[in-house]
Structures are given as C-alpha cells and as structure tokens.
Amino acid sequence: MGVGDVSKRILLGRKLRSAQLGETLLPKRIALPVFASDALSSVAYAPDEIFIMLAVAGASAYVWSWKIAIAVAVVMLTVVASYRQTVHAYPSGGGDYEVAAVNLGRTASITVASALLVDYVLTVAVSISSAAQYAAGAIPALIGHEAIVASVAVLLLAAVNLRGVRESGTFFAVPTYLFMFAILGMCGYGLLRLLSGDLPDAESSHLKIEPQDGWDGPLTQVALIFLLARAFSSGCAALTGVEAISNGVPAFRRPKSKNAATTLLLLGLIAISMMMSVVVLAKQMSIRYVDPHKLEQLRTASGEAVPEGYEQHPVISQIANGVFDHFSPGFYFVVTVTGVILVLAANTAFNGFPVLGSILANDGYAPRALASRGDRLAYSNGIVFLAVMAIVLILVFDAQTTKLIQLYIVGVFVSFNISQLGMIRHWTRHLATERDPAERRRMQRSRVINTFGLGMTAVVLVIVLATKFLAGAWITILAMGFFFLVMKGIKKHYDNVASELAADETDNALPTRVHAIVLVSKLHKPTLRALAFAKATRPNSLEGVYVSVDNAETNRLLEEWDERNVGVPLKVLHSPYREVVKPIVEYAIAIRGANPRAVVAVYIPEYVVGRWWEQLLHNQTALRLKGRLLFTPGVMVTSVPYQLRSSQIAREREEREETRVRPGDLRRGRGDRDRQVQ
C-alpha cells in the first residue's frame, strides 16, 4: 500500500463493499439532525436579518417583528405540508427535480436543478461564514481572518462527509440535539422570566437607532409595505433546507417515505418554535440590532455615535446574555453550540447536493463522475465539488454573511414554485384515471395543499425578487442561468456521443489489413515481450520502430538487432530535433494515409514499478505518446506491461493487507469466510 493509499485510509477509513450500502441508511433520530440542521440553524441568523431590515426605519419598526415571524412561520408550515406530499409521491430522492422532470418537462427540471445547485452552495457559504463570525466574536485573534477560518471549516466538513453519510450523521447528531436543547431551553426559561416580570433588558437596549436617509419621519403606506416586504423576504431564509429531505429520501431506513415525512414535520415544528421564541424574546428585551456595516445608526442615550470598535453581538448572543445574567455557563453553552451548529448546518447541503448531482449525472445533465460512489459509498466527487464552490464564494465575499444572505433563498423559492406546480399536475393526472372514492379524496386534499403552497411561495418569490434583486439576487439569477446552460450543453454532448457510437451495418466491415508497429527504445525484455505479443495477433505486416536521436546509440541497437536475429524488420525514424512523440505520430498517420481502410496497431512496451517515488525516476514518454495517438483516426494503441520486481512486492503487500484480520472484523461479521468469498 503506497503513501497515497495510507493517507486515504486514514482520512476516509476502511473501504466498504457495495453490498454494505444498507448499513449506511439512517434512522429518524439520525436523519433529523443530518437533514434538518440547515433549517434549524437559520434561527441563528434569520431573526437577525428581520431586525436589520426593520432597523432601516428605526427601532419603532420593531413592533412588526413578531408579525413578520408569524408570516414566515405560516409559509414554512405550508411548504412542509407540501413537501410531505412530495416525499410520498416521489420517494426515489429526486425531489423537486424529479417532480419537474416527470410533470413539467426538461426545461422546468433543468431550471429546478440549477436553482437547487446554487442554493446548496450558498447554504454552505452562508452557514460557515456565519459560524466564522461567531468564532471571531469569541476569539479576537480571528478577527480579519474569517474567510480563512471558514475555508478550513468547509474542508474539515467535506472530509467528515467523505467518510460516509452514516458516520457523518452520527457525528452531527449530538451537536444538533444540543443546539435544540440550548435554544428551546433558553427561550423557555426566558418566557418564564417574562411571565414573572423578571426578564431583563438586552445589553443593547439603552441604544437608539437612527433611521437611514429617506426613512426618517412618518412612513407612507407604500414605504411601510416595502419595508415589511424586505424584512419578510430576509426572514424567509429560515425556509432554506426544507427541500433537502425530499432530495434525501433514499438515505432513510424503510419505510422511507413515512420516515422522511415524519422527519419533515418534526423539522417544521421545531424550527418554527425556535424562531418565534427568539423573535418574541428579542422584542421584549428591547434588542437593538443593525447592519454590521452601518453601526453609525446606533446612538447612545445622549444621542452620540457609539464608540469606535463597538462590538455588536448577534441576537441570540444578546438574549442568552440577558436570560442567563446570573448563570454564565448557560450563556457560553448557548453561544458555543450555536457556533457549532452553523458549521454543521452545511451538512444538509453535503447530503443533498451529492444525491442531486448523481441523479443529474444518471440523466445526462452532469458529468458522470458525480454518479460514482467513493470508497465509503458516499458520492465523493459531488462532495468535493460542493466544497470547492463554497470556498470560492467565501473568499470572494470575504465570509460576510450580510452580503451572502442577499444571494440566498432566491434559488430555493424558484424550486419551491416549480415543484408545487408539478405536484398539482401530478395529482390532476392521477385523478383522471383513479376510480376509488377514498383515494380520490386523498388526492384532491393533496392537490389543495399543493395549490395553496404554490400561491404562498409565488407571493414570496415575487417579494424576494422585488426587494433583493439589486441587493445581490441578480448574481444568483446569473449563476442559475450559467448552470442551466452548462447542463444543457452536457446533455447535448452526451446525446451526440451516444448518436455517434450507435452501431450500424457499416460497423461489420473488417479492415483491409493491419499494419503493426512495436515501439523500440532498447532491445530488452519489455521490447521482446511486446514483439512476441504483436506476432501472436498475426497482423498483415509487423515492424519495429525506433526514433534515432543519437547516432552512436542507433548503431549499437542496429548491431544488437542483427545479432539477435529477431525476425522483424526495424524501422529507424531520424529526429534531428530530438523529439520522440512527433515522429511516431507522423509515421502512423503516413501509413494510415497510404491505405485509408487499413488499421495501424501500435504496441508500446512499458515496465511497471511499484513504489510511488520510482515513478518520478522514469520519464512519461509512453503516456504522452498514447495521449497523442488517441486522437489519430485509424490507430489502435496497445500497452504491453512488464512488471518489475518492485511492482510484485507492492502487489504481495496488498494481498497480505487484504487477508489480515483487523480489530473488530469478527464482531462485524467480516471474518475469514468473507475474505475467502472475496
């Protein structure tokens, strides 16, 4: 086992057989934190965004905060109810993409796919960037290095997911449940103190908020509606991640649809409870929270600007500081698990994106590499691609959550709308053929739910586009358009390739002759083996080909060739510029040109080494030559390997490694009998 293999095993763990795929499926108690961490973690920033948007008009606008939260909660319940219909109707894991493909056609499905791909990338970027901001607030040394911290966190998260969904789910379960306990416990205790009249004010309650230019003075009805719409659209960030469960149904244990629907309902109820509690407590504690880049809005009680370097803590941090004013461990516990959950929230995307990528790849809309499972039965290429894209976004936007949030939720609401429309058509189509009265009533009820969901999500999408387009949503729309065109281009390429490769009557015709050439560098064992193999194929003509770059070496080879009496003529190609690849390619093209219906068979002797560092000691002429000949029509390339002793030692080492009994093998039921079967 080479250094690369050892490193891979340390990072990913032992390989899993394809038959062990069932062992990676998730029970509900693990599936909830795996797929719901994104939506739950939005509690850490969605309330902040509501207050930031309302602060534009001053603290007096905070009176609308709980009403906006209720509106967001109604939309979330509607979306949850709608997706419960989806997971029952389409349990294969395609989610919105499959719904659109089956019911609305190719264009709609590609639109949904491009929206979801963008949203998954933004989910990782926003969650990790927010966590980096929390970390910088707790550790001053990290201030100014948030982008680097976030990038490292993405890499670590990708590494955990590469070990497999079951292991990553177990890893993420405990922090997610701790976050639920921390937030619900904090809010429950805070509401009890509120009822008893003992709830203190927040640390920022003494500050005043100066309205931004154009928002001071009494607001007109139009201005108020626009303000509330902006706050509502930002608060709808709480809905991101809901769709991940419909894309991840195959990861659930049986009965898959039922378990996924139950998990979806739990997600909705928990997320709504947490968000409503945080918003209500923030309002009752008189929190003052503005855009971190516009701290000049904050004023002291005397009307002066806040001191330079003033640190504005997130909403949850301020609530925890007030609620646990006599119990500091409670404050640190809440802040710590909130920062952790923001990192782990990206795990929702790391589970949804690779599955969607594999479905797109199987349908021909994405590179086929995304459909391949890695050593740990995870879609490794999709995980790596997602990590790279998220890191690029984090570095471009310097891990600023407020900037990234403007790009957020556009894609997910585009997919929401198309999915609801597709489900309406799904139920309508089935109602046309269904005759059972009970089943028809169920379908009609489901269609009503999806119709109401379409109306709600359509209104939200219009509001989001109207309020966020110039603030950054246009970037998301451009990205969606880019992915849309790329996927159509990939599909066109695969279709063209399939058309070209389709067999017809002309493919039965045999070549008129086969001209075989064996490449010669020296007259040694690899060359003799290649000559023997070429003779065994019985070509019409056979010759050795040698590229001469040094006259002395050429003369020695010719003498040795005659002395050994190989029985095959040797063709010498002179290369005054010491090129090796080009003369051979030109010679093969010349042979092919002289007889267009002939085939030129090129045999390349290669010797195989077993250690990674030995590769560095040998040039890669054969590899470069094969790369050039692959693009030459009518030329067939055959490698004739000659294994050196080091390669056999490496193979023997691998065989010993495979038969070695490891700790825990017998407990897992993978003893000697399993190895013999392999």
Binning pLDDT at 50, 70 and 90, where does residue 453 land?
Answer: confident
Report whether 229 contacts 463 (CB < 8 A). Answer: yes
What value does the mean pLDDT take over residues 339-361? 80
Question: What would the pLDDT profile of 44-77 be if each residue is shown by its tens digit?
Answer: 888 988 999 899 888 888 999 999 999 999 988 9
How many other C-beta atoms can be found within 10 angstroms of the C-beta atom of residue 35? 30
Between 495 and 501, residue with greater pLDDT: 495
Tokens 């928990």 -> residue: 270
Cross-strand partners of 26: 252
Which residue type occupies 348? T
Report whether 346 contacts 128 (CB < 8 A). Answer: yes
How many other C-beta atoms can be found within 10 angstroms of the C-beta atom of residue 217? 10
What value does the mean pLDDT take over residues 279-300? 88
Is 147's pLDDT higher than 70? yes
What is the strand order of the sheet 599-608 is part of? 570-574, 541-548, 514-520, 599-608, 635-643
Q: How far apart are CA 177 and CA 183, in angstroms?
A: 10
HEC string of 544-585 equals EEEEECCHHHHHHHHHHHHHHCCCCCEEEEECCCCCCHHHHH
Mean pLDDT taken over the chain: 82
What value does the mean pLDDT take over residues 458-471? 82
Residues whose CB is less than 8 angstroms from the CB of residue 357 and which lie 6 or more positions away in sequence, other chains included: 117, 366, 370, 371, 379, 381, 382, 385
Position 599 scores a pLDDT of 92
Report whether 201 contacts 287 (CB < 8 A). Answer: no
What value does the mean pLDDT take over residues 430-455? 90
Instruction: Provide the percentage of residues in the chain whose pLDDT is more than 70.
Output: 85
Between 7 and 288, residue with greater pLDDT: 288
3-state secondary structure of 134: helix
**Torsion angle defined by CA atoms of residues 446, 449, 450 and 452, in that order, rounded to the nearest 10 degrees:** 160
Tokens 């991940």 -> residue: 244
Of 312, 479, 353, the C-alpha closest to 410 is: 479
Reading phi first (left if > 0) and then psi (alpha if -120 to 50, else beta), residue 214 is in: left
249 CB burial (10 A radius; 0-12, 13-18, 19+)? buried
Instruction: Provide the percentage of residues in the chain whose pLDDT is more than 90.
Output: 28
Is 456's pLDDT higher than 80? yes
Question: What would the pLDDT profile of 582-632 be if each residue is shown by its tens digit?
Answer: 999 999 999 988 888 889 999 998 877 767 666 666 657 788 888 888 888
Binning pLDDT at 50, 70 and 90, where does residue 136 land?
Answer: confident
Report whether 491 contacts 364 (CB < 8 A). Answer: yes
Position 411 scores a pLDDT of 82
What six digits make up the tokens of 585?
Answer: 């390619």
Of 50, 104, 655, 176, the C-alpha closest to 421 is: 104
What value does the mean pLDDT take over residues 19-43? 69
- Domains, the chain, in order of start with CATH, read 28-302+311-495 (1.20.1740.10), 513-643 (3.40.50.620)
Count of residues making up the chain: 678
User: Where is average pLDDT lowest: 191-200, 201-210, 215-224, 595-604?
Assistant: 215-224
Is 356's pLDDT higher than 90? no
What value does the mean pLDDT take over residues 331-356? 82
For CA atoms 149, 153, 156, 158, the dihedral sign is negative
pTM of the model: 0.68
Residues whose CB is less than 8 angstroms from the CB of residue 270 and which lie 6 or more positions away in sequence, other chains included: 36, 40, 180, 184
Position 538 scores a pLDDT of 92
As a whole number of angstroms, the longest Cα–Cα distance in the chain is 107
Position 333 scores a pLDDT of 92
The span from the first CA to the last CA of the chain, in angstroms, equals 18
E strand or H helix at 639, and its extent?
strand 635-643
What value does the mean pLDDT take over residues 234-240? 82
Q: How far apart are CA 239 and CA 232, in angstroms?
A: 12
Position 666 scores a pLDDT of 46
Residues whose CB is less than 8 angstroms from the CB of residue 560 and which lie 6 or more positions away in sequence, other chains included: 523
3-state secondary structure of 64: helix
Position 193 scores a pLDDT of 94
Position 535 scores a pLDDT of 93
Of 83, 190, 27, 9, the C-alpha closest to 416 is: 83
Is 668's pLDDT higher than 70? no
Reading phi first (left if > 0) and then psi (alpha if -120 to 50, else beta), residue 124 is in: alpha
Of 310, 290, 321, the C-alpha closest to 62 is: 290
326 CB burial (10 A radius; 0-12, 13-18, 19+)? exposed
Q: How far apart are CA 656 and CA 650, in angstroms?
A: 10
185 CB burial (10 A radius; 0-12, 13-18, 19+)? middle
Position 17 scores a pLDDT of 45
- Which DSSP category does 215 fall into? -
Binning pLDDT at 50, 70 and 90, where does residue 90 land?
Answer: confident
DSSP string computed for 315-382: HHHHHHHHHTTT-HHHHHHHHHHHHHHHHHTHHHHHHHHHHHHHHHHHTTSS-GGGG---TTSS-HHH
Position 168 scores a pLDDT of 52
- Which DSSP category does 241 fall into? T
Is 23's pLDDT higher than 50? no
Helix extents (H) in 139-198: 146-162, 165-195
